[in-house]
Structure 1
Amino acid sequence: MSERERADDTESATAATSEKLVELAKRRGYFFQSSGAYGGVGGFYTFGPQGAALKGNVEDAWRDRFAVAEGNMEIDAPTIMPEPVFEASGHLDGFDDMLVECPECGESHRADHVVEDNTEYEDAESLPIPEVEEVIAEYELVCPNCGSGLAGQAVETFNLMFATNIGPGDSDPGYMRPETAQGIFVEFPRLKEYARNQLPFGVTQIGRAYRNEISPRRSIIRTREFTQAELEYFIDPETDEPDLSSVEDVEVTLYPASEQNAEDGGEIRTTIGEAVDEGIITSPWVAYFLGVAKPWYDAVGVDMDRFRFRQHLSGERAHYASDCWDAESEVDGNWIEMAGFAYRGDYDLSKHGEHSDDRFTIFKQYDEPKTVERATVDPDMSYLGPEFGGDAQAVVQKLEDLAARDRSAFDGDAVEIDLEGETHEIPVEKTGFAVEEQTEAGEHITPHVVEPSFGVDRLVYTVLHHAYREDEVADEERTYLELEPEVAPTFVGVFPLQNDDELESQANEIVADLREVGLSVTYDDSGNIGRRYRRQDEVGTPFCVTVDYETVEDEETTVTVRERDTTDQKRLPVDDLAETLSSIREGDLEFDEL
């Protein structure tokens, strides 16, 4: 029989608030602020036993869908990389947030967050700094810490990179990566070999990233150290198109830029196929990955009534991205970004190709050899050497680039090149310039990149928030987490009904059997059975197995299996228990079918 006594309307269960969730998370070992013994430090969180298991299950589910099922590779790159990597990627110059400092208490704040929290502006990050300063003055915004006015205070840029040194003494400067993507891009010359130089191919990575946030807030939603799960998918933009047939019927809620800019704009409910046909999503590749992601989010426990894809406005879109959509979830009435889906073009590989000594291209073979005209140079080094000294090789590179780009520059008696800000004239006769017919089997192309980038910590927070429930069972208040079995930290709790040697021995045998088939199991013999049920409900354990006296006395050895959400109970044979629960875990069997 069910122990549950509640109305038929299952929607009556109370949802979470952030305060309740953070309290539960700390008490039950999901997550808590790090270094508490030393007063804690903002923006760093420790995932406890339950949280680490949930996070690991989410990562495994992501890996299964976006690496294994899609046939993509996975790598694990270092979290610290040398300075030239981030000079090439642009992070040293443009990876900034807007900072405003309180004139009274000296506390620093994200200026765009101050605006968003206290005005109708939803995407202040996309505003230019002078306009942010005007909004702060117009609305007479104050310091969130002490209440002093911020009008008239300068809004400045603050680079989010964590700097470090590599090696002792006069060591090389390095940085902790702000995204896992660069670890994939810098290894492209080798990764393309593993892909047999055939496009398209994808490379995934799950790992830590670091951003020195001005004002981390809202527990694990915005932190200084976090986990990303990213896929960089490399394509030939001229020939590679996704097969949309598998996702074209996926229903999605979209919030395009056009609707965000309209006075009466709102969300659009459509399908992936219709969104592409109508030009709402301009990149078929981005559309494909949105179609893959939506059912995956549903499977891991994100409430689809509080989920949407929002297109970046032009002011907030990264300069390299031609289009970008965020997967967003609603938490406490606010929409938070969980993932970004961007078409990055050839920006990343081109930049690393310019700044490094390696080739970030792929050789694309023609169906048939082609005869083409190529402009070449064969400089007279006996002239360039004395003239330019150690810069002679750089001059050769400049001449080669210019010949490939603009052969008309060699039409006169001299050609001009720019070297470290100075213009130099070189006699054309000393450049060895010529236009020759060449037969080529193919050409080197720079692939374009499509990037689905997932924030794991924010997803974990969303899953917990959307799973939080409060109800009454047998006139007693109950809190439980309605986690999906695929991601729940513990799948089965096993209890002996009483502290009895025979019951405990049987319970331990069942624990061993269930663990042998790969199920996550906890054993609990502390307190009355109702209290043990409540503990497992609160951490989201889908099933509890109770070993009672019927188990050891009846001819057929059975146990009571209780389901978390309905609290329904069924007696099942011990011999079939591992197989039955494994089938439920894999989604091949429903509890109510037993």
Structure 2
Amino acid sequence: MKPKDKYEIISELAKRRGYFWPSYEIYGGVSGFLTFGPLGALLKRRIEDKFRSFYMRPLGILEVETSVIMPGEVLEASGHVESFKEPTVECIKCQRKFRADHLLQEFGDMTDTETEKLGLQAVMDEIGNRDIRCPECGGKFSKPEQFMTMFTTTIGPYSDAVGYGRPEAAQGIFVEFKRIFESARERLPLGVVQIGHALRNEISPRQGPVRLREFTIIDVEFFLDPENRKCDRLDEVENEELRLIIAENKLKDVTEPVTVTVKEALNRGIIKEEWLAYFMALAKKFLVELGVPEEQQRFIEKLEWERAHYSVQGFDQEVYLDRWGWTEVSGHNYRTDYDLSRHMKASGVDLTAFKESESGGKRFIPHVIEPSFGLDRLAYVALEYAYTKRKNRTLLSLSRDVAPVQASVFPLVSKDGLPEKAKEVYLMLISEGFVVEWDESGSIGRRYARADEAGTPLGITVDYQTLEDGTVTLRDRDSWRQVRSEIDNLSQRLHGYFRNKLDFEGLGELIER
């Protein structure tokens, strides 16, 4: 029997422990939709909060929330109606439809760089030449057609009021730029983020949380003066190393990344914009903090015909996954003034900024640097890289600041006043703002194992010694070491621990085994 890969293992664990599972299971399920359970929803929220503290607060980035449904004219102006299409083929035998370029990549040994530049006739020729058949029934395919990958709807009772489910959160920021800019006292540079749902009507999503029809996106739009694009925080990251597959090497089929510092990448013109390089370095560091080593990350430059219609330079950040290999988790693009110019022209509304000069000043359209992340992918990546085994036990070694539940509270046994004392500790921690779980079912060993598999960093056990001296046992998920800590200062120590200001040994007196 073929051994399970990590995706299969993580998926089974995720269902069992309440991280995620396919949506609408009782009706047979619908591919491309995923339900995040109690732990999964918490994990996503933790990653969001970490993103806010890591990216937003140091740079003073503002957050907005705009509508998911967009009027047709917005996405016509942005170019999405024209460009958001993919080649699709239909199986003549079973009538299932598939994205043609993905078939060529999965079964035809072609790269995305090779398939990106193929027209519909060339796609058909390649499928025929490589004898690619339907992966479901083995049937032959029809001629490829372009398929609109945005969800279409009507707004209100009027059939001519066409709307779309937004394929990205960015457009909501661009169309509201005037109001946001005014509320921010017309300062540049100005960062604006939106974290919310996006919709893409994927043709044949078959990659679980990696390719969804409804997903959570983090779009940061960083507006700046096109005549002053210097990054004033570059010294913070200029010595950070990035693993890059650059455009000229892609054209030579060189897939081994070059490792360069941010400073070197800018000096050599590999990365053309300082703020683009800055955000790429932050993205690398952010993934490291989610548990992904640097050597399991890379940035791959998009060739001209691969880039989105709005981008003049772009890099995808990729992480290596057990089943799917190198997988995109974020995109970094220099969008220039493309979006604001298009919306300004289509709406007739002035979206320029003004700057003073000796001659009296002038108006200009701000340029945009965009980092964009898929939150669902980040959550899955964190789970896959956290998965480990210790003495035949499954552990999720999630970093303490993204683990959904921070601690589990256990009475050693369900008698002699221990449950009552443990409940006091449990309620005290909740009142202090911690996310804790109560578990008194089964042996203490089984309860530890359940918490380890769920990724909970700490186990707090109330035992007979607790009744004598007011201390509890704290158990570390990863090392299984234990310390004794006084209940009276437990909250203070835990706050330090979860803010990464204390290590485990700082929580109490080590219990020697």
Instruction: Between 170-179 and 329-338, report the one with greater CA deviation.
Output: 170-179
Number of the residue aligned with 1:484: 399
CA distance in 2, matches of 1:516, 1:293: 34
Q: 1:157 aligns with which of 104, 124, 146?
A: 146
Sort the Cα spacing of 1:63 and 1:15 in 2 relative to 1 into closer, same or farther, 3 A: farther
State whether structure 2 residue 225 is matched by structure 1 residue 236.
Answer: yes
State whether structure 2 residue 132 is matched by structure 1 residue 135.
Answer: no
Report deviation, 1:299.
1.3
Number of corresponding residues: 501
CA distance in 2, matches of 1:353, 1:275: 34
Number of the residue aligned with 1:5: none
Report deviation, 1:15.
10
Kept after mapping to 2: 8 A contact 1:300/1:486: no
Kept after mapping to 1: 8 A contact 2:483/2:505: no
Q: 1:277 aligns with which of 267, 275, 278?
A: 267
Report deviation, 1:171.
6.0
Number of the residue aligned with 2:317: 327
Number of the residue aligned with 1:289: 279
Number of the residue aligned with 2:342: 351
State whether structure 2 residue 460 is matched by structure 1 residue 470.
Answer: no
Q: Which amino acid aligns with 2:457?
A: P
1:49-88: CA deviation from partner (whole Å, max 9, x where unpaired): 0000000000111122222221011100010111110110
CA RMSD across the alignment:
1.6
Map 1:70-149 → 2, pairs under 5 A = 70-123=59-112, 124-129=114-119, 130-149=121-140
Instruction: Between 73-82 and 280-289, report the one with greater CA deviation.
Output: 280-289
Kept after mapping to 2: 8 A contact 1:109/1:215: yes
TM-score, length of structure 1 as denominator length = 0.82
Number of the residue aligned with 1:262: 252
What secondary structure does 1:239 align onto? coil
Q: 1:298 aligns with which of 274, 288, 304?
A: 288
State whether structure 2 residue 443 is matched by structure 1 residue 452.
Answer: no
CA distance in 2, matches of 1:580, 1:65: 23
Q: Which amino acid aligns with 1:298?
A: V
CA distance in 2, matches of 1:122, 1:530: 48
Report deviation, 1:135.
2.0
Kept after mapping to 2: 8 A contact 1:360/1:446: yes
Number of the residue aligned with 1:203: 192
Number of the residue aligned with 1:532: 447
CA distance in 1, matches of 2:263, 2:427: 48
State whether structure 2 residue 506 is matched by structure 1 residue 515.
Answer: no
Q: Which amino acid aligns with 2:193?
A: T
Q: 1:579 aligns with which of 492, 504, 509?
A: 492
Map 1:406-425 → 2, pairs under 5 A = none
Q: Which amino acid aligns with 2:289?
A: A
Q: 1:566 aligns with which of 472, 476, 479?
A: 479
Q: 1:337 aligns with which of 328, 333, 347?
A: 328
Sort the Cα spacing of 1:16 and 1:565 in 2 relative to 1 into closer, same or farther, 3 A: farther
State whether structure 2 residue 231 is matched by structure 1 residue 245.
Answer: no
Sort the Cα spacing of 1:263 and 1:309 in 2 relative to 1 into closer, same or farther, 3 A: closer
Report deviation, 1:264.
4.5
Q: Which amino acid aligns with 2:340?
A: L
Sort the Cα spacing of 1:466 and 1:448 in 2 relative to 1 into closer, same or farther, 3 A: same
Instruction: Between 354-363 and 71-80, report the one with greater CA deviation.
Output: 354-363
Q: Which has the higher contact order (CA 8 A, sep 6+)?
A: 1
Q: Percent identity?
A: 44
Number of the residue aligned with 1:27: 16
1:260-309: CA deviation from partner (whole Å, max 9, x where unpaired): 22244511122111111122212212101011221112112223331111
Kept after mapping to 2: 8 A contact 1:89/1:348: yes
What secondary structure does 2:474 align onto? strand
Kept after mapping to 1: 8 A contact 2:69/2:163: yes
Instruction: Between 514-523 and 52-61, report the one with greater CA deviation.
Output: 514-523
CA distance in 2, matches of 1:60, 1:461: 16
CA distance in 1, matches of 2:406, 2:255: 43
What secondary structure does 1:508 align onto? helix
Kept after mapping to 2: 8 A contact 1:16/1:465: no
Q: Which amino acid aligns with 1:351?
A: R
Q: 1:592 aligns with which of 502, 505, 512?
A: 505
What secondary structure does 1:69 align onto? helix
Structure having the higher Rg: 1
Instruction: Between 295-304 and 54-63, report the one with greater CA deviation.
Output: 295-304
TM-score, length of structure 2 as denominator length = 0.95
CA distance in 2, matches of 1:557, 1:265: 59
CA distance in 2, matches of 1:70, 1:85: 29
Report deviation, 1:116.
0.8
Report deviation, 1:343.
0.1
